[in-house]
Chains A and B, each alone.
Chain A
Amino acid sequence: MRYRAEVFVTLKQVVNDPEGLTIRGGLHALGFDSVTEVRAGKYLVVTLDEVDTGQARARVEEMARQLLANAVIEDYRIELKPESPSPAAGDSRGQSPSPLVGDGRGGALPA
């Protein structure tokens, strides 16, 4: 099974974030006065093949601990989804899948 893991790495709340502070300053300069805080971080997408969700999550957790985040200064959050396309799901418009089959075979011609 193929999985897509999104890993969000951010500096711990106790760690000063000069990048976030600078971005906040920029937003204030643009007039976004309501902004109280900006935290900058990293966004990583890891695609992997594993037998099931539990195994995939365990592997990505391990990756985050060993390499993707530095526990001294960073926290991480993982969002995991199966990536394999599922033909039955995802079509909420109530249309029949048949137009795909008939495509290019005269289906578009007027009766």
Chain B
Amino acid sequence: MKTGIVVFPGTWSDRDCAHAVSEVLGQPARYVDHREDSLDDLELVILPGGFSYGDYLRCGAIARFAPVMEAVASFANRGGLVLGICNGFQILQEARLLPGALLRNASCEFRCEWVNLRVEQSESAFTLDCRPGQLLRIPISHGEGNFFADPQTLEVIERNGQVVFRYCAPDGRVTAEANPNGSLRNIAGIANARGNVVGMMPHPERACEALLGSVDGLEVFRSAIHALRRVAV
């Protein structure tokens, strides 16, 4: 799985992603500078977490205009796999590659904690190895992860099965108490209609080794490997 990890000024989770992909999973990975304009050598592009361009104006608003984003858009439109994590999710929404927006957490607090996610569908490229209803324990670390979409958009993404992950209680129930940021319908991650682009607030790259407290994040990356094999066959 030839993986590119995009680095903007202010990106901070790029090395965690590179470690998970190359050291833990043994897949080839390289960093992609925000000024690059070709991603032709890649099969998976990750937009990692951080505070690109200082989160000025809005999270992801400036990163969206970086030269590499045009390449990301055409890569995604060709069916390439794109995973936006945390700030990467915000960037994908600003670029309109994913619907909705992420507002300030309802609590106005930065939340850095373990959450439970319920996998809502196993059609997307990043949940292929999961079964619907499966629980994943993955950490979050954000101040603006409060998912919002207007009622019509929300209806469309629910109907299309584009909701990929929801925050849930340890027993899998989707409750208000399990919602760390006020996201509508506890939404933690969504896919585009085609399923090759996924954005999620939790950090799967930080849950890939038992030493770190969970290996559930591996499911996300292994699914991508599986999805690429499926295309190749």
Contacts and interface: CB of A to CB of B under 8 A. Distances in A.
A22 B182 CA distance: 14
A72 B101 contact: yes
Nearest to A40: B104
Interface string B41-74: 0000000000000000110010001000000000
A16 B108 contact: no
B58 A18 contact: no
Nearest to A44: B57
A1 B150 CA distance: 40
A14 B150 contact: yes
Contacts of B150: 14, 72
A73 B101 contact: yes
Interface string A58-71: 00000000011010
B148 interface: yes
Contacts of B99: 72
B108 A15 contact: no
A45 B104 CA distance: 23
A67 B182 contact: no
Interface in B135-152: 146, 148-150
Contacts of B105: 18
B65 A67 contact: yes
A103 B75 CA distance: 67
A14 B149 CA distance: 10
A61 to B, nearest CB: 17
B115 interface: no
B169 to A, nearest CB: 23
A70 B103 contact: no
B100 interface: yes
B57 A16 contact: no
Interface in B9-27: none
Contact of A22 (B61, B108, B148): B108
Interface string B61-102: 100010000000000000000000000000001100001110
Given A72-B101, A72-B149, A18 B108 contact: yes
Given A16-B103, A16-B182, A18-B108, A73 B65 contact: no
B160 interface: no
B106 interface: yes
B108 to A, nearest CB: 5
Given A67-B57, A67-B65, A70-B58, A18 B101 contact: no
B15 to A, nearest CB: 29
A72 B100 contact: yes
Given A11-B103, A19-B104, 8 more contacts: A15-B148, A18-B105, A18-B108, A19-B108, A68-B57, A72-B93, A72-B101, A72-B148
Interface of B: 57-58, 61, 65, 93-94, 99-101, 103-108, 146, 148-150, 182
13 contacts: A15-B103, A16-B148, A16-B182, A19-B104, A19-B108, A22-B108, A67-B65, A72-B93, A72-B99, A72-B100, A72-B101, A73-B103, A73-B148
